[in-house]
Chain A
Amino acid sequence: MNPAVPVPLRRLSADARAAILLPLVLFLLLAAFTPGFATAGNLGNLVVAGLPLLVLATGQTVVLITGGIDLSVTAVIGLTSVLGALVMSGDAGWLRGSPAATPVALAVMLGTGATVGLLNGSCIAWLRMPAFMVTLTTTLFMGGLAVWLAQRQVHAESIYNLPAAFLLLGNRPGLAAGVAIAAAAATHLLLTRTLLGRWFQAVGYNPRTALISGVPVGGTVVTAYVLSGMMASLTSILITARLETGSPSHGRTLLLDVIGAAVIGGTSLFGGKGTVPGTAAGVLFLALLSNGLNQLNLSDFFITMVKGAVILMAALLDVRRNRWARES
């Protein structure tokens, strides 16, 4: 074991440790070369900005561990946002003004994600449809549904005037951080310390072996997608509260970041491998990158290109890492 590795890091698995190095290096680079970067205010902004992605990528990690992929998360964010707003908005909500509006809306939002996840999971597990196509189709459908619903119900592209109780999640970064981190931590514990977590892994490594070993494969797969859907809903709750608006276009551009974060964090696209700390490191890395690129005042197209290049480097590093791991 490398004696140069600081003690707290030794407690992490090798993969997660390697993953955490990336944001660390980036942080040091940015801190050294970007004025105004390493200020408490900026770092606070950066963390708050990364919260939705953290929740979303955590859910995606679970699905990736089972050997699947969930492209529908972005559409779930939009649909959830619209449905939640339709329940609680003071302008057009079904429960406008009622004290029950916020709790019911939260339940509806989480339920939406769970339902879409159930649909995805059922098609994949029971009808044996390829995850990529199923979730691509649900993206198309749910995305369209969200726009249509908003238009039909309130004749607008988005819905404002959400109850103050709901907006607390947006106004209090500490609360949002608490919720997001709790969700990520719970998922981490679920993956490492519970039976279900091991089942996710087994299914991802080899579904046939898992089935014969008594793992309820279908149910496990469905659960993974339901979990991913609910995490997407939670992401939607965070974004909706922060922007104080229910809109079908929330989260539309997050998909590539989500998968990027998971892969940078050492999650395999072929199933079995992946950790929440690794993914969190991936999220942190992307948040640092995006913040740093903003600070450097680069133009839009450079930011896009640098992002691509960085994902490429991270993937390369991952290949190297696996090769080292295999050789040692």
Chain B
Amino acid sequence: MKGDTTPPTSGGRETRPPAVSFEDIEKGFFGVPVLKRVRFSAQAGRITGLVGENGAGKSTLMNLLGGNLQPDSGQLRVNGSPYAPRGSGDARAAGIAFVHQELNLFPNLSIAENLFLTEFPRAAGGLPWIDRRKLRDRARHLLDQVDLAHDPDTPVERLPPGERQLLEIARALGAQAHLLLLDEPTTSLSVRECARLFDLMHRLRTRGIAMVYISHALGDVLNHCDDLVILRDGEVVGRGPAAEFTQERLVSLMVGRELNQLYPVRTPPPVPADSRPREPLLDVRGITQPGRVRDISFRLAPGEILGVAGLMGAGRSELARILFGLDPHASGEIRVEGRPLEGGPRRRIREGLAFLTEDRRHEGLCLEASVADNLALVTLGQHARTPVRWLDLPGIGTAVARIRDALQVSTRVTDAQPVRTLSGGNQQKVVLGKWLLSEPRILILDEPTRGIDVGARFEIYQWIHRLADRGSGILVISSEIEELIGLCDRILVMRQGELSGEFPRGEFNREQILAAALHTSTS
């Protein structure tokens, strides 16, 4: 039997079977074990945090629950009874709902239609018509539960991302789910939206709903989960009440070795502000684009790592896109080493800029193309000889092999493999790699570690340092304030399209940065 180490549950629910339990689940692909006798459970009315590096087996677990995969051996139980789903329909019938990292909403439909896409209330009389009034009423009822005050007929395309996430949860509630699996739900949310989400999760907990929360944001996991399960290489390496864990312990369990710190130390300490060269690498003066950003001015010195904090929609990504020439700006000036910066991305890459976007899958990679082709894409021009821009294929091969080795992209990956098949961390390394090959002098990183596990994060931070040490200027946009504090020499804060604060290293203060981002009435 199990239950030996299940954490004490709250308020007299000891007799109830767990909402879901994994009993010695094993699963392998082509003879490679991915899950090894996994055994844990999630209780009703509690939030169970599931953490682990990418590739630890979390998604496989989710796929088993969703019925997309079947275990090789072991038993799944839902509310104590055996559960062997064969498809997403079975999962829904068992009261299991998923809230994915990538939103599964349809912007061309209304809120109400999204909520009841497969469960439309039918009109009386046997006709297949939708009962619009009933639909609206039910939708409004669900929206109330997640605190969304929109008209149910509003098209979803008008909602900001944070509210869409809440809508996904409302959809799960509408399906009468008693077990909610939240897979990285906060990746595209602002701080305030995250707060709203956690608030909702806490309320759902009191209604007896079981939640499994998957995230790489360890701080959130520790703060909001009741129980934790840590996976490494397909094995449960730790579980218990959240109170028993610290961030350090979590990390070491996940990685399997002691990580002294989450952020690497910069070996030559950052250049002090007063001894910086006169000429900034990047000089941004009064950039304004109506509706996006207003009067943004700052300088980036060689070797400096400059962070940009702010809420979702504060204009950070918009600023990055303007800097890289993807979007126009109405007024203001951008100079690189004193020369005005003009033209589209192509010209700016030639000026030494590089831009790692927040949307890896749609803007960072050609998913169907090979690893090698993706890595080579930016720097192809350097290997092209005029007059017909003939490519030096061996040269490209050498460069690709070099950067691939340097980035330690998983050895199981071949150059000819489509990038689509790689894990998130390896994909991000490929994006970084293609920019590293261009040896950028100014590197703009928009959410560089979103959805990336701890180990890969550390490597990415190391590369950022290495580039800075070589004299490149680096602009890091991140929603994780801790990350900026750990990584940057200086942090700018944006709010509603304007700069609302600047913090040099040494004056970093989480609360103050947050306050600057949040726009309290005092300012």
Residues of A within 8 A of B (CB): 190, 193-199, 201-202, 205-206, 208-216, 272-273
Contact = CB atoms under 8 A, between A and B. Distances in A.
B389 A209 contact: no
B326 A205 contact: no
Contacts of B381: 195, 214
A193 B365 contact: no
B369 interface: yes
B369 A272 contact: yes
B501 interface: no
A213 B326 contact: no
13 contacts: A194-B384, A194-B391, A195-B381, A201-B373, A202-B373, A202-B377, A206-B365, A206-B366, A209-B366, A212-B345, A212-B355, A213-B349, A214-B345
B386 to A, nearest CB: 10
Contact of A209 (B362, B388, B393): B362
B366 A193 contact: no
Contact of B368 (A194, A199, A273): A273
Nearest to A271: B368
A15 to B, nearest CB: 12
B324 interface: yes
Given A209-B364, A212-B324, A194 B388 contact: yes
B150 interface: no
A190 B384 CA distance: 12
Given A212-B326, A213-B377, A202 B389 contact: no
A210 B369 CA distance: 12
B389 A196 contact: yes
A205 B357 contact: no
B98 to A, nearest CB: 25
A272 B390 contact: no
Contacts of B363: 206, 208-209, 212
**Which applies to chain B's interface (DSSP): helix, strand, loop or mixed?**
mixed
Given A209-B362, A209-B366, A216 B391 contact: no
Nearest to B347: A214
Contacts of B362: 206, 208-209
Interface string B377-414: 11011001000111101000000000000000000000
Given A195-B381, A196-B389, A211 B345 contact: yes
A143 B145 CA distance: 61
Chain B CB within 10 Å, residue with most, of A196, A201, A205:
A205
Contacts of A196: 389
Contacts of B349: 213-214
Given A201-B373, A202-B377, A212-B357, A193 B393 contact: yes
Given A206-B367, A272-B369, A213 B434 contact: yes
Nearest to A193: B391
B377 A215 contact: yes
B420 to A, nearest CB: 10
A202 B381 CA distance: 13
Contacts of A214: 345-346, 349-350, 378, 381
B385 to A, nearest CB: 9
Which 8 pairs, one residue from A and one from B, show the smallest C-beta to C-beta distance?
A205-B366, A195-B389, A195-B384, A214-B349, A206-B366, A213-B377, A214-B346, A205-B369
A287 to B, nearest CB: 30
Contacts of A198: 373, 376-377, 380, 391
A208 B389 CA distance: 23
Chain B CB within 10 Å, residue with most, of A194, A195, A273:
A195
Nearest to B355: A212
Contacts of A193: 390-391, 393
A216 B365 CA distance: 16
A213 B431 CA distance: 10
A195 B380 CA distance: 7
Nearest to A203: B366
A208 B365 CA distance: 9
Chain A CB within 10 Å, residue with most, of B363, B377, B389:
B377
Interface in B333-382: 344-346, 349-350, 355, 357, 362-369, 373, 376-378, 380-381
B210 to A, nearest CB: 36
B346 A202 contact: no
A209 B393 CA distance: 22
Contacts of B434: 213
Contacts of B388: 190, 194
Contacts of B366: 201-202, 205-206, 209-210, 272
Contacts of A215: 346, 377
A321 to B, nearest CB: 15
A187 B163 CA distance: 50
A271 to B, nearest CB: 9
B120 to A, nearest CB: 32
A199 B384 CA distance: 12
Contacts of A209: 362-366, 377
Chain B CB within 10 Å, residue with most, of A190, A199, A211, A212:
A212
A16 to B, nearest CB: 14
Contacts of A211: 326, 344-345
A13 to B, nearest CB: 10
Contacts of B365: 206, 209
B459 to A, nearest CB: 22
A161 B344 CA distance: 51
A148 B344 CA distance: 43
Contacts of A205: 366-369
B377 A194 contact: no
Contacts of A212: 324, 326, 345, 355, 357, 363-364
Chain B CB within 10 Å, residue with most, of A206, A213, A214:
A213
A193 B345 CA distance: 24
B431 to A, nearest CB: 9
B362 to A, nearest CB: 6
